[in-house]
Amino acid sequence: MTMEVLGTLIGAALQGQIVASAHVSHHCTVTPPVNTTDSWHDTPSFPDPSDPLSHQAKVYMIAAGVIGGVYLLGIVILFLGVKEKDDPYALSSDRTIPFCKGLGLTMKHGPYVKLTASFLLISTAVQLEQSNFVLFCTHAADLRNHFQYLVVTILVSAAVSIPFWQKFLQRFGKKCAACGISWMIPFAVMLVTIPNLLLAYVVAFVSGLSIAASLLLPWSMLPDVVDNFRLQNPHGKGHETIFYSSYAFFTKMSAGIGLGISAAGLEFTGYKPGICRQSEDVILTLKILIGAVPAILILAGLFILLFYPITEESRKETKLALEALR
């Protein structure tokens, strides 16, 4: 889990720095003559991105290689640093739950369904913010020369605030800490309505706090769900793998949903890669994808989380019951 969080933050920071030159164009900073607005609107700010020899294609290929290296490094550290152990408290009569049966049981487990549905929506909202932030800064907020620094601000804020969220959830509870994810909503809406450089950095900092909470909380709450399931199914084993792999699948699915919504919305409104100015419809779509849609998804996810049945008290009771069972 640590490697996933660090890999996500490091990978996003490195990619932002590498591809920054592909989105910064001195050509687009020149004020066009009054009578040539339409031609300036259609003039590419950089070579055709479909050209394999273009600068944009090269830097994105370099970024892809770097991200692949970070991915492999995280896998190696995980493989060498984590040793799998059998449950020392399992009885010899306990039987490993078959995958299909175990998947059916987990999908019927109320706490797991509510947790997964909640963070599927929240993760999709975060993916929408992340995937459209560069385009929003470039075309809707006139911050094309600052977006890489804003991305670094988000990532540093997220990395630094993870220990804070760990202390917070230990003291006030995990469901209470989940409210921190909603902090980005009012600031993102403010950035959409009042695009300002200083406000953009404030939004980046607060968004980092919310992203840290969204990264930490599900992995902190999932063990409670596993313990709750174990208490209800005391003679089964091997279910942990199903819980974690299923949740990982849903988080990856949220990334696909977020990218799909973004791509479909921008294509429908006529987004054209490489031009200096996008149409008003594209700019409006970017504002909606940054402000309105993530806000709705986060609020819907937090609403589902209200019905998440595992509280701090029930978690302690489950822990005591498992110790007695062992």
pLDDT tens digit sequence for 242-284: 888 888 898 888 888 988 999 999 899 888 877 778 888 999 9
d(CA 43, CA 277): 9
What is the C-alpha separation between 92 and 79, in angstroms, rounded?
28
Sign of CA dihedral 132, 279, 28, 146: negative
Q: What percent of the chain lies above the pLDDT cut of 90?
A: 13
Residue 275 — φ and ψ, nearest 5°? -90, 155
- CB neighbours of residue 186 within 10 Å: 13
Write down the pLDDT at residue 25: 53
What CATH code would you report for 98-325? 1.20.1250.20
What is the band of 37 on the pLDDT scale with cuts at 50, 70, 90?
very low
Is there a contact between 226 and 239 (Cβ–Cβ < 8 Å)?
yes
35 vs 13, residue with greater confidence: 13
CATH 1.20.1250.20 residue window(s) in the chain: 98-325
165 close to 213: Cβ distance less than 8 angstroms: yes
The predicted model gives 132-158 an average pLDDT of 82
Contact 180, 297 (CB under 8 A): no
Instruction: Say which range, 41-55, 93-107, 112-126, 144-158, has the weakest mean pLDDT.
Output: 41-55
Q: Is the pLDDT of residue 46 over 60?
A: no
Name the phi and psi angles at 277, rounded to 5.
-125, 130
Q: At 193, is the pLDDT very low, low, confident or very high (cuts 50, 70, 90)?
A: confident
> What is the mean predicted confidence (pLDDT) over 291-303?
92
Is a pLDDT exceeding 60 seen at residue 33?
no
> What pLDDT band is residue 299 in, cutting at 50, 70 and 90?
very high
Backbone angles phi, psi at 32, to 5 degrees: -75, 150
pLDDT of residue 112: 93
Structure tokens belonging to residue 299: 């609020």
Q: Answer yes or no: is pLDDT of 39 > 60.
A: no
Spatial CA neighbour of 282 closest among 144, 147, 137, 139:
139
Confidence bin at 180 (pLDDT 50/70/90):
confident
